[in-house]
Structures are given as C-alpha cells and as structure tokens.
Structure 1
Amino acid sequence: MTNPKRNSAAPLILRKSGHELLADGRNAMIVIAGFNALSTVQDWTEQSKLNCPRGYTQNFSWRKANEASEVIRARPVGTNVTLVGHSLGGGHAQLIAQELPAGSIHTLITVASFVPNTVNSHTVQGKVGHWLNILSAPFWSDRLLDFAGTLIGWHNQGIVCGASNYRSEFPHHDFYRMMQSVAILPKFKPVLDL
C-alpha cells in the first residue's frame, strides 16, 4: 500500500499540522473547484496558507481551468506544482495533467472527481509524480450527480489504477473536511493499491 509519507523517494503531500505542499517558495498549489464549490475551496486554501505561508497558491473555478493550465505552464522549471481538483475541477485537473508535458505536475490530488470520457488515466498517471485520488462517501445525491454527468459525457471517477486511492468518510460536497482529514490518514481506508 502506498501512503503519502515524507521520505527521500516520495513526494511531500500532507503533514498533521498543515500542508507541506507549501513548504517553500519552490512549491505552487493550484486548486480547481467543482460546481458551486469555489468558496469552500478558497476557505481550505486560505487555511493552508496560514499553516505554511511560503509558496504560491491560486484557486480557479472549473469554468476557468484553461487559466489554471496557463499558470502551471508559466511556473519556473523546478517548481513542485501540486494540482488539486474537486468534482468537475478534478476532471479538468486530469485533462490538464494529460495535456501538459510529463513532470509539469509533481502531485495530483483528485477529490470526488467527475471526469470526461476522453481522459486516459494511464496517460495522466505517467505524467505526474504522484497521484492521490480521494473517493467520497456515499450520499443520497450521488445518483443525481451521476445522471447529470452522463448527460454531458462525464462519469464518476471511482478507483484509479496507478493512483493512491483513499475512501473518505465524508460525502462528495464536503471538500473542506475531506481535505482536512487527509492529514490524519487512518480516517481514510485504503481501497486498492493497483
């Protein structure tokens, strides 16, 4: 089982007191929010900045994912870019990872993702340094979300081969608590480590 812990071979993901993703100026965190979730994502990002203020962060709505891609392309060589995407933002994060050159994204974190049918998870996995995929707990609105996604040619991500998959105890809409809880790994049950 792959756990996001700090060692010489593994990327920095999270630490208990905050987010090591922003440990120095060479790190950048780009977050793409899902439908109507930008304010929640901004709250989480602001908390992350309080815990580790050195680093670059920027939030985008899923509708402005192209701007997120441009920001990543503009980062200096050697920047450890962490790309976080929630819901539709997770799908857009995977599209960005698929399109950018390998090594552009150090860590990809997808949270309760909905992805377009055109995403190839094997291509994405081969282009990022580490991929943490957080699956949400079941909730009554899941069927409605699945139906809406089907109408636009997207699907619920589920388990991803080649990623570290963790099941959250929180539902799809609760991005803030899902991300805060990643720091306390036992709250997440390993699903599969393929």
Structure 2
Amino acid sequence: MNRLSEQAARGQKGMNSGIHTEQGARQKRNALRPSRGRGFFRSLPAILSVSVLALVCASAAALAGGAGPKAVPAPERTSLRGLARPAALAFDRRGNLYVAEQGETRGAGRIILRTPDNETILIADGLDSPAALAVDQNGGLLVALRGSGEILRIHKNGKRTVLARGLDRPATLALDRDGGIWVACGDGSLHRVERPQPSPPAR
C-alpha cells in the first residue's frame, strides 16, 4: 500500500514537472516572438523625431521661398546726372521729385524739380547749402538752409518766405498733423516753427 502511494506521488510529481517544463518552453517562445504592440511603441520616438525634422525643414524652405539666397536687384538707372552734391529729396502728392543741390561753392545751391514725365525744372538757385526738403499740406516747398541758418517756404508762384532765422545748421525737417514745421539743428536742438501764412492751394 505504501509502495502504491509512493508510485502515485512520483507520477503526480512527474506530471507537475512536465507541466512546468511545457509552460517554461511556451514562455520562452512567447518572449522570442516579436510583439507588434511593443515594436510600434519602441519605434515611436524615432518616428516622431523624423516627423519633427521634416516639419522644420519644410518651414525653413517656406520662409526662404523654396530656393537659395535671392539676388539683390540692381538699382534702376536714372537720367538725372551731373548733380552738384545732391543733399535732399522730397516728393509731392502729384509725384514730382524735388532735389536739393548744395553746389560746389557757398551760395551756389539750387533746387530742381523732376516731373513724372521726366521734365526737369529749376525751382530756385543762389541758396546757401540747402540740407533738407519737405512739402507742406498745400504743396509749398520747405527748405532748410544749413549755411545761412534759415527755413524757407517756396510757394507755387515762386515767391520765397523766410519762416525762421538764426538756426544752427538746420539739417532735418518734418511736419506735424497741425502743419507745424519741426527742424533739428546741428547743435542738438529741436525747434517747432509756426507757419505764418499757408501756401496757396495747388491748382
């Protein structure tokens, strides 16, 4: 009876050992078999890195216009040549271009007008180093004379009006919304010049 019990116990132990052995082999096979889910998640960081890199490259190409560095266009040629030390430019509402020339000697400055039809007209001469130009609300031309320290208004009919005197090398002109004239001078000062009379409206 004891022998039968021992044989039964040995058989049960062998069966258990076989079961454990088969389970271990199955676990090894599962471990060696590639897992679709784990493989995808392991490669996800690499996929994201490639996607981000592609997005950055596409954005850079879009900002650059999809091409290499663009060539800077050459400036257009102008028919205005032989100017004597041009110092200032200004446009009016009709597209006329005013050019101030300081000249080669003191008192030889002048202002010429270039129309949209490429016609050149002498506006004023005998000026002492014109340094800045501006056009007021009524089309009058404002001129800062660096040499004489004056601010002039040249009306449409050619009449000149002195708006200010005694300035130290006036160099820049600007208009505010009220039509007042601002001038910056060489001594570091800034002045507001009131206009005594408005220019006659352009016809």
TM-score bracket, shorter-length normalisation: under 0.3
TM-score, normalised to structure 2's length? 0.25
From the CA coordinates, give the structure whose radius of gyration is larger: 2
TM-score, normalised to structure 1's length? 0.25
